Structure 1
Amino acid sequence: MHALKARYDRGDRDVMMSRASSHGAFVLPRFLRKPFRVASRLFGGGVRVPRYAGTFGLVGFFAATGLYGMVVGNHTHEVVKATASTLGFAIENVSVSGNYETSEIDILEKLGLDGETSLIGFNADDARKAIEALPWVAGVEIRKVYPGSVVVSLRERKAFAVWQSGRDLLLVDEKGEPIVPLNGARYATLPLVVGEGAQKRGKAFIETVAAYPDLAAKVRAYARVSDRRWDLLFDNGVRVMLPEHDVKRALAEVETLQRTKNILGRDILSLDMRLDDRVTVQLTPSGMENREKMLKDREKAAKAAGRRV
């Protein structure tokens, strides 16, 4: 019944509108009729306006204006920071752990805290990326602890060797990645690898030499030659030139010579192990003099023995 009445009312209104238009009266377009009826009821007292509606509307207008100005002026971050700090979410405590080589001052600088930064507006992901850019940092975890604390946990890289490249001395990790320049004698006990490619292949070669403890204890540096093979530089200045292949065989032979003949304690400059069928020894200048003197003495002794015969 209600639906029939509604259709009848709409039909009456359409008939009235058509009659009004036929008599030359002004008729509103269809899309303006409903707003016009609502406005007529509102100003005619047919609609009851809630109490304080004007106040709330004015407040909403000013709030919308302020939000618009904040967004257009790019002041959102400052407004959020000030509001959150006022509500008690300002960062007041920073806890750092796992930093043995990285200073806390550098970490705090990368966090970008200014005393008013709130925990709500603090971007942990950006801070993590900034801290990971520090030379000793291998990884970092940053956690927000409400209402006002930040916890930073670091995982640092470990220096494995000192790499000499030209005149530069750099600390490198096990993968051969440079960390920082060598400064002071703190890492003087680390293995010294020399030459291009030595930083990348040094770990495997140092572990190979470590299997021969009599030699490894006397090595001063591991030199990479043309990124093909290795030389061992010993504490007394002797250089042992190893072959490109079958390095373990050459090391075992050097260790045998050292154990039986103390070859590395002689007056020699180098020991060439690159050929399979021979060992080439280069003497020092004093060693050459001693050798020449020994040969002369041997020749004299042979001549004297010949005369006696």
Structure 2
Amino acid sequence: MAQQIRRNGTGGVRRAVKAQSRAVTVRKARGSATGVIDRVMGVLPFTEDQWSRIWLAMIIGGAVGIAFIIASLAGVPALAQAQVAAVAADAGFEVRHVRVTGTSRMDEQQVYARALAVRNQAMPDVDIAALRDDLRALPWVSDARVSIQLPHTLAIDIVERKPHAVLEKADRLMLIDATGVELEPIAQAKAKGMLRLAGPGAGRQARALETLLSAAPALAPKVEAAEWVGNRRWNLTFTTGQLLALPEGEIEGATALVKFARLDGKNRLLGGKVLAFDMRTPPRLYMRLPEAVGQPKDVGGDAGKETT
């Protein structure tokens, strides 16, 4: 009987030791996991109060997510979406700050005026695509990137259009980009030194003019103004004040401009006594001399001196 009691006592001790060992292991594992979580939380830029909101939002959001799935299956997704937005707002995830980058020439207030329309909205309620379209409707905006940065910042990155030329209109000068989009009015003094376009529909031909001038890169910097005539051809005015009338057609106009550049390189036409050059009837070139100054600006085939 005494031996049996001793064996039972030994087995109880062993079980107690094993139980204590398991408890120690569990505590160590919990401590290690807690340490890792604490380190991760320390790295991220959130305060303890924000972390409390985040954990609360995750817990409630998980429940709402399940409810959303059930609601969607039941045919009421809009109600579930409203509930998600309400939970996000309660957790502090709403638009409180707007950060705009990428603007250098345009008025930044135009961007803020549109962005502040979503101020204090819950993040899930912000229609990023609609806001982006609204921003892209601004004259200076070529593109806009809109993103949400939790917990409460709306980030907007603007890609501005680049000024290319000045469009002469009946009552004002307009700054335009290379595609002819009108950016804003510009004062006469600020327009000095910029390429000027004139004539009905000239703005829409800005890209075509750029392509034309690229055919003769040596002449392009010397072009001061370009007039779109009759919706079919260009008159170019150089910094010397001399005029070059080009023929109709993209290929014909580019060919004539290249020929003129070649002749200018050989004979120094620009800066000379000739007032105007008429190449509207290729391959001939008509030149108007100073004594013909009283004749119309658009040179006729029988005016001035002729050369081939």
TM-score calculated relative to the size of structure 2: 0.56
Select 1:261's aligned residue among 260, 267, 279: 267
- Tell whether 2:278 aligns with 1:272: yes
Task: From the superposition, tell whether residues 96 and 280 of structure 1 become closer, same or farther in structure 2 (CA, over 3 Å).
Answer: same
Match of 1:163 in 2: 167
Aligned residues: 210
Match of 2:195 in 1: 191
Where structure 1 has 5 or more consecutive residues not aligned to the other structure, the ranges are 1-79, 289-309
Q: State the 1:183 CA deviation.
A: 4.1
3-state SS of paired residue (1:180): strand
Q: Distance in 1 between matches of 2:148 and 2:262?
A: 62
CA offset digits 1:231-279 (Å, max 9, x no partner): 1101121111111142244223323432333223222321112223543
Task: From the superposition, tell whether residues 286 and 82 of structure 1 become closer, same or farther in structure 2 (CA, over 3 Å).
Answer: same
Task: From the superposition, tell whether residues 183 and 129 of structure 1 become closer, same or farther in structure 2 (CA, over 3 Å).
Answer: farther
3-state SS of paired residue (2:265): helix
Where structure 2 has 5 or more consecutive residues not aligned to the other structure, the ranges are 1-83, 295-308
Q: Equivalent residues in 2 for 1:45-84 (5 A)? A: none
Q: Distance in 2 between matches of 1:197 and 1:276?
A: 25
CA offset digits 1:89-136 (Å, max 9, x no partner): 453332222223333322222123597555455444443343233221
Please tell me whether Structure 1 or Structure 2 has the larger radius of gyration of its CA atoms. Answer: 1
Q: Distance in 2 between matches of 1:111 and 1:270?
A: 53
CA offset digits 1:168-201 (Å, max 9, x no partner): 3222233223222234655644432221232223
Select 2:180's aligned residue among 167, 176, 200: 176
Alignment check: 8 A CA contact 1:170 1:180 kept: yes
Alignment check: 8 A CA contact 1:82 1:116 kept: no
Match of 1:56 in 2: none
Alignment check: 8 A CA contact 1:111 1:130 kept: no
3-state SS of paired residue (2:270): helix
Match of 1:220 in 2: 224
Q: Distance in 1 between matches of 2:277 and 2:263?
A: 11
Task: From the superposition, tell whether residues 212 and 102 of structure 1 become closer, same or farther in structure 2 (CA, over 3 Å).
Answer: closer
Match of 1:148 in 2: 152
Task: From the superposition, tell whether residues 287 and 120 of structure 1 become closer, same or farther in structure 2 (CA, over 3 Å).
Answer: closer
Q: Equivalent residues in 2 for 1:106-117 (5 A)? A: 106-112=110-116, 116-117=120-121
Amino acid paired to 2:285? V
Amino acid paired to 1:243? P
Q: Distance in 1 between matches of 2:281 and 2:264?
A: 18
Amino acid paired to 1:263? L
TM-score calculated relative to the size of structure 1: 0.56
3-state SS of paired residue (1:274): coil
Q: What value does the CA root-mean-square deviation take over the aligned residues? A: 3.4
